[in-house]
Amino acid sequence: MDLSEIAVSSLRHAKDMDHAESYVVRSVIRSAYIDGGRISNIETKTDSGMCIRVANDGRLGRACVTLSDEGSAGSCARSAVRVSSFSPKNSMFRGYPSPSRSLIRTDVFDDRIDNITDDGLKEILSAVIDSCDTDIPRGLLRLSTIRSAVANSNGLLTEHRSTMMYGHFTSMFRGTKNGEGTESVHGTSLTLDPERIGKELGRKARASAEARPFRGKKKITMILPPCELGDMIMSSAGSALNGENVHYMRSPWTDKLDTKVASDVLTMTDDPGTPGPLCSAFDDEGTPSEKKVLVENGVLKSFIRDSFIGSSTGNGMRRNSTDAQNIYCSAVGIRPMNMIISAGRHTREDIISQTDHGILVEKFAWPEADPLTGRFGLEVRCGYLIRRGKVVGTVNNALMMGNMFDALADIDLIGSDGENMGCITVPTMSFSGMELAGN
């Protein structure tokens, strides 16, 4: 049976419910690892499962199963019906989406990923290893094909297919002081450049080994490249734009529609028509996706929502941008498909040359800001100190402190080098007034 048939036929097991929805997904994942500079584990994974959600008289239930035999769909529906009977009435639920057409066309399927072989995977990883002049102790390349269908009791039926590439590599320079570099790649097609990745890994590991502990404390301009800035924006602005956080009033941007929340230079859109790993014509609830302006010239224009929050903007997602396994077990959450910060006109070199006193952070321990407050204190594992427009040294062992909501309201410069980091595309940006503290 194909996925749409499973999705539609499974609804009959929940026909007594006021509302029912079935999501069915099948993934094939091929991955290969580098361990200690050599290609080691090679994996083939086939994964299929479904999630059924029901609502009856305001009582909600959800059940998920792996599709291991013909009885799986029926047992999933029965479980959803059973658990819903224990739920108190939910005051918010208004129903699942009705059928509707999408105006978005996406190109997110690459036959080369769908047909990748062991030898193809090994060839790519060998090229990464050969291009890197330091060791690569760990690396992973994962290529996935995802096919899914959503059906609901309103007569909605949508299908989606996409391919996804995710790679994460760490390099290591061994010397009197060891240094580590990392590189990540995200995408929907097999467009990675193994030689560039290998060279960057080597460069970053050497730079990290040369870093010296930062001493003292100073006010400084923070320059973040896309690989560090993406998660900082998602954990702060991404959380503030989430309709569920707005509904429960834990978004600092609640009640700030049409008011200024960021610098004039900041414009953010969510654009499902671009080739991002989550981009699709419909979200994972079957609501048509659409291009939305979220922040325009610093003014908050809209939030993103799913069907539970109501007035869905087509952002009810089960998929994530790195792994296609066990998607059916994920609860629907509100996520942008590809949140794009409009690029500026400065190259990264321009931004450095216009910075009087700053640091370009190549690697934080883990880039994130507190979603409620925007506060952050992050360990700098490798950063380039800048004085009067020039890099004057490499530092580590320092804490970068600030507030991401304040930083967005006081952006210095925006780069022209936008890069996709999963569900966000960001350029390099600089922010003044941060605090850097060392030992």
Partner 1 sequence: MMHHMLSKSVAKMQDLGAEFCDAKYQKIKSIGIQSVNGDIRHLSDKVMGGVCLRAWVGGRWGYHTSTSFTADDIISAAETAVANASGSPKGNVELNVKIIKKSRSQNVKVHPDDVDMDEKVRAVLDLDSSQKRDRVLNRIGSYSEEINNNILINSAGSEIEWEEIRTRFRAMSVASDGQRMERYYNGPDGTCGFELIKNADVESLGRNTAEEAVATLRAKRTPSGPMTVISDPMISGLLAHEVMGHASEADEIVKKRSFLTDAVGKRVASDVVSMYDDGTVEGAHGTIIYDDEGTPASRTRIIKDGIYVGYMHTLESASLMNVQPTGNGRAENFGKRIWARMTNTFFGPGDRTLDDLIADTKKGILCDKMVNGMEDPVGGGFEAKVLRGFMIENGKITDMLRSFTLTGRALEILRTMDAATKEVVFDGGMCGKGIEDWVNVSSGGPYCRSGMIVGGG
Residue 79 engages partner 1 in binding (rule: CB under 8 A)? yes
329 contributes a contact to partner 1 by CB under 8 A: yes
Q: Is 47 in the site for partner 1 (CB under 8 A)?
A: yes
Question: Minimal distance in Å, beta carbon 366 to partner 1?
Answer: 4
Residue 350 DSSP class: H
**84 forms part of the interface with partner 1 (CB under 8 A):** yes
CB count in 10 Å sphere of residue 400: 22
Q: Which of 306, 343, 381, 408 binds partner 1 (CB under 8 A)?
A: 381
Inter-residue contact 414 to 344 (CB < 8 Å): yes
Is residue 322 part of the contact set for partner 1 (CB under 8 A)? yes
Residue 271 or 364 with smaller CB distance to partner 1: 364
Please, which residue, 9 or 325, has the CB nearer to partner 1? 325
Interface of this chain with partner 1, residues 214 to 233, rule: CB under 8 A? 217
State which of residues 87, 131, 297, 342 lies at the interface with partner 1 (CB under 8 A). 87
**What's the one-letter identity of residue 151?**
A
Task: Dump the DSSP string for 391-418.
Answer: EEEEEESEEEEEEHHHHHTTEEEEBS--
Residue (2 or 118) nearer to partner 1, CB: 118
Give the x-and-dash track for 259-298 against partner 1 (CB under 8 A): ----------------------------------------
The type of residue at 147 is: R
Q: How far is the CB of 311 from partner 1 (least distance, A)?
A: 18
Is residue 33 within the footprint of partner 1 (CB under 8 A)?
Answer: yes
Q: What Å distances lie between residue 191 and 113, 165, 271, CA to CA?
A: 10, 9, 20
Beta-sheet strand order (sheet of 419-420): 299-300, 292-296, 268-270, 339-341, 424-426, 419-420
Tell me the site size for partner 1, rule CB under 8 A.
83
Q: Mark 94-133 with x for binding to partner 1 (rule: CB under 8 A) and - for no binding.
A: ------------------------x---x-----------
List the one residue from 19, 22, 49, 102 that touches partner 1 (CB under 8 A). 49
For partner 1, the binding residue among 296, 370, 410, 417 (CB under 8 A) is 370
In angstroms, the Cα distances linking 414 to 47, 59, 225, 411 are 41, 48, 10, 8
CB of 353 to partner 1, least distance (A): 28
CA dihedral 357, 363, 365, 366 (to 10 degrees): 100
**Residue in 350, 429, 434 with CA at minimum distance from that of residue 399:** 434
3-class SS at 96? coil
Which C-beta is closer to partner 1: that of 347 or that of 366? 366
H or E, element range at 23: strand 19-35
Stretch of residues binding partner 1 (CB under 8 A), selected from 102-110, 195-203, 370-378, 408-416? 370-378
- Contact of 403 with 237, CB cutoff 8 Å: no
Q: Using CB under 8 A as the criterion, what x/- string covers residues 148-167 for binding partner 1? A: --------------------
Of 248, 257, 260, 310, the residue at the interface with partner 1 (CB under 8 A) is 248
* Interacting span for partner 1 (CB under 8 A) from 194-202, 311-319, 340-348, 399-407: 399-407
For 104: left if phi > 0, alpha if psi spans -120 to 50, otherwise beta; the answer is beta
Q: Is residue 269 within 8 Å of 293, Cβ to Cβ?
A: yes
